[in-house]
């Protein structure tokens, strides 16, 4: 079968393309911009790419067109698909029907930590010899790719609440027939498509209504928004996990040190295990706890799971160390919501101690640009000693309001921000770049600068 994928260079659609090719289909695709590393991964898999939306790419007609949720009515190729009455579907629908059906699907959902928790879970299953398939919204370093068909029955999926396609406004995860669900947390986000938290909760409820009675839903015991979702109706087995420091009683618990670099898992029926890893932050301990509990549902021993996490390699752009030189360390992080920003900085502060912590935040997400979270942003950044904000284009609010706390500067040009930042860096600084976009190429530029002699010209004085 010839499958043509529109929007193929996104992480989800690119991973889907690799899975379709692994299933034996002939796969082609198109996107507005064809760029590495996804373009290289796709071409290595034998997938031909077209740049742009010329309807000529539909000749000869493919057997099925998979349309990504970034495309809408008015797009020339979308209009041609409809006019010619070509068979089409969404990425999540195709995945659910063609890949996930018949597998034991372990789905990880929530506002924060989906990519990291799903990567941990896949690594645990791999360490236990289960050869899982997976589709994750990032690149786990233990695997080097965001998607794999896998030989085992288990399939790990990052279950995103964003909408499916222009013709299907349900959340993506509604299409995933999960047998193990991880509900990590739930806050308001994606203000471009959801009016409020209740609208997101409704989508979670719709998903839970489709879950089999023998499935297991693992839920964060400290999250009241998730408790409200389950109270609206649940027909499956529920097991709670309690984050470190939680006062809630739950069958799965974690006890961690302050930095989160060492923790102990306590599970039902005497299950025990300990992890020492290079990750930091109690939010990552919670992610690891959820992954261990999910793996237990398919029979992985707790001790095996925690030992696997001790060797977990992390995920690209999740507090990823990009450069180290002349006493300066640079990290790249995907954080773009106040809660994620706060937990990232708290974890990094625990690692660096009294060292100077500098945060550069890119206001790139739709919710950030609309100012949905502006009231919480100053508090979220409080763990940093110095903050620079990149606010390009027209925003729905004035980020200078955040700058009133005195340690924050606002810049509208990423290159100007980079110049200001490098001018004040000194030995002992830890710098974290936070964005869910490209940040104007800043991560690569600063990594190159720190690795050169320029990063060593200032001392701690």
Mean of pLDDT values over 315-343: 85
Q: What is the CATH classification number for the domain harbouring 417?
A: 3.90.190.20
Taking the model in full, what pTM does it have? 0.85
306 and 190 inside one domain: yes
Among residues 270, 290, 310, the one where a domain terminates is 310
Distance of CA 368 to the CA centre of its chain: 17
**Tens-place pLDDT, residues 83-106:** 999 999 999 999 999 999 999 999
132 and 278 inside one domain: yes
- Name the residue range of residue 124's domain: 102-310
Mean of pLDDT values over 200-215: 97
**Tens-place pLDDT, residues 404-424:** 556 788 888 889 999 999 998
31 and 64 inside one domain: yes
Phi, psi of 300 (to 5 degrees): -80, 130
121 and 80 inside one domain: no
Identify the H or E element spanning 29: strand 26-31
199 and 238 inside one domain: yes
The tokens for 340 are 């994620």
61 and 122 inside one domain: no
Per the domain annotation, does 42 fall within a domain? yes
Phi, psi of 109 (to 5 degrees): -125, 165
Residue ranges of E strands in 267-407: 272-276, 320-325, 328-333, 357-362, 386-390
Domain count, the chain: 3
Q: What is the CATH classification number for the domain harbouring 175?
A: 3.40.1190.10
Per the domain annotation, does 263 fall within a domain? yes
How many degrees, rounded to 5, is the angle at CA 421 between CA 419 and CA 422?
Answer: 70
pLDDT at 183 over 60: yes
Most confident of the ranges 25-34, 79-88, 445-454 = 79-88
* Lowest pLDDT segment from 297-301, 314-318, 439-443: 314-318
139 and 225 inside one domain: yes
Per the domain annotation, does 418 fall within a domain? yes
The tokens for 193 are 């498509």
Per the domain annotation, does 461 fall within a domain? no
331 and 285 inside one domain: no
The tokens for 117 are 């928790």
Q: Are 56 and 4 in contact (CB under 8 A)?
A: no
Q: 347 pLDDT band (50/70/90 cuts)?
A: confident
The tokens for 345 are 């900085």
362 and 447 inside one domain: yes
Per the domain annotation, does 96 fall within a domain? no
Mean of pLDDT values over 328-352: 85
Per the domain annotation, does 315 fall within a domain? no
Under 8 Å CB-to-CB from 323, ≥6 apart: which residues?
329, 330, 446, 447, 448, 450, 451
Phi-psi region for residue 440, left (φ > 0), alpha (ψ -120 to 50) or beta? left
335 vs 88: which has the higher pLDDT: 88
Mean of pLDDT values over 413-441: 89
362 and 248 inside one domain: no
pLDDT at 209 over 70: yes
pLDDT at 393 over 90: no
Under 8 Å CB-to-CB from 109, ≥6 apart: which residues?
159, 160, 161, 173, 181, 182, 183, 184, 204, 207
Among residues 61, 90, 119, the one where a domain terminates is 90
The tokens for 78 are 């979308």
Most confident of the ranges 112-116, 379-383, 389-393 = 112-116
Per the domain annotation, does 449 fall within a domain? yes
Among residues 58, 90, 122, the one where a domain terminates is 90
108 and 249 inside one domain: yes
* Nearest residue to 283 (alpha-carbon basis) of 347, 349, 230, 329: 347
Q: Are 19 and 149 in contact (CB under 8 A)?
A: yes
How far apart are the C-alpha atoms of 31 and 351, rounded to whole Å? 40
Helix or strand or coil: residue 285? Answer: helix
Q: What is the CATH classification number for the domain harbouring 21?
A: 3.40.50.720
How many degrees, rounded to 5, is the angle at CA 368 between CA 429 and CA 229?
Answer: 110
219 and 359 inside one domain: no
Per the domain annotation, does 97 fall within a domain? no
């Amino acid at each position: 079968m010839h499958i043509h994928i529109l929007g193929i260079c996104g992480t989800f659609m690119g991973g889907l393309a690799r899975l379709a090719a692994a299933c034996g289909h002939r796969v082609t695709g198109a996107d507005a911009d064809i760029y590495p590393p996804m373009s290289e991964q796709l071409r290595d898999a034998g997938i031909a790419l077209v740049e742009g939306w010329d309807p000529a790419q539909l000749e000869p007609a493919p057997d099925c067109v998979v349309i990504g949720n970034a495309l809408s009515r008015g797009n020339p190729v979308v209009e041609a698909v409809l006019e010619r009455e070509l068979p089409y579907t969404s990425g999540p629908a195709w995945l659910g029907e063609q890949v996930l059906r018949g597998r034991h699907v372990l789905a990880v959902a929530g506002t924060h930590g989906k990519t990291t928790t799903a990567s941990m879970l896949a690594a645990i299953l791999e360490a236990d010899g289960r050869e899982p398939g997976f589709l994750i919204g990032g690149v786990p370093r233990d695997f080097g790719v965001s998607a794999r068909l896998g030989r085992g029955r288990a399939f790990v999926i990052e279950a995103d609440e964003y909408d499916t396609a222009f013709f299907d406004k349900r959340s993506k995860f509604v299409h995933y027939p999960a047998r193990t669900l991880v509900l990590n947390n739930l806050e308001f986000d994606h203000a471009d498509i959801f009016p409020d938290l209740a609208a997101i909760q409704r989508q979670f409820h719709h998903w839970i209504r489709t879950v089999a009675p023998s499935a297991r839903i693992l839920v964060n015991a400290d999250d009241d928004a998730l408790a409200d979702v389950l109270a609206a109706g649940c027909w499956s087995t529920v097991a709670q996990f309690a984050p470190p420091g939680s006062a809630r009683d739950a069958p799965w618990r974690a006890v961690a040190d302050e930095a989160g670099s060492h923790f102990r898992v306590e599970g039902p029926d005497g299950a025990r295990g300990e992890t020492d890893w290079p990750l930091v932050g109690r939010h990552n301990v919670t992610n690891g706890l959820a992954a261990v509990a999910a793996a237990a549902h398919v029979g992985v021993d707790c001790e095996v799971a925690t030992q696997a996490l001790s060797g977990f390699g992390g995920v690209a752009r999740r507090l990823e160390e990009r450069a180290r030189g002349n006493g300066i360390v640079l990290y790249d992080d995907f954080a773009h919501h106040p809660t994620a920003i706060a937990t990232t900085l708290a974890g990094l502060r625990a690692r660096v101690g009294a060292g100077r912590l500098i945060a550069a935040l890119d206001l790139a997400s739709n919710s950030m640009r609309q100012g949905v979270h502006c009231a919480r942003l100053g508090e979220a950044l409080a763990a940093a000693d110095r903050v620079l904000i990149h606010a390009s284009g027209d925003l729905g609010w004035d980020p200078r309001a955040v700058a009133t706390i005195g340690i924050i500067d606002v810049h509208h040009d990423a290159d100007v921000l980079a110049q200001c930042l490098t001018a004040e860096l000194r030995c002992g600084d830890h710098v974290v770049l936070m964005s869910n976009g490209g940040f104007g190429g800043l991560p690569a530029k600063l990594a190159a600068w720190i690795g050169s002699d320029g990063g060593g010209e200032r001392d701690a004085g």
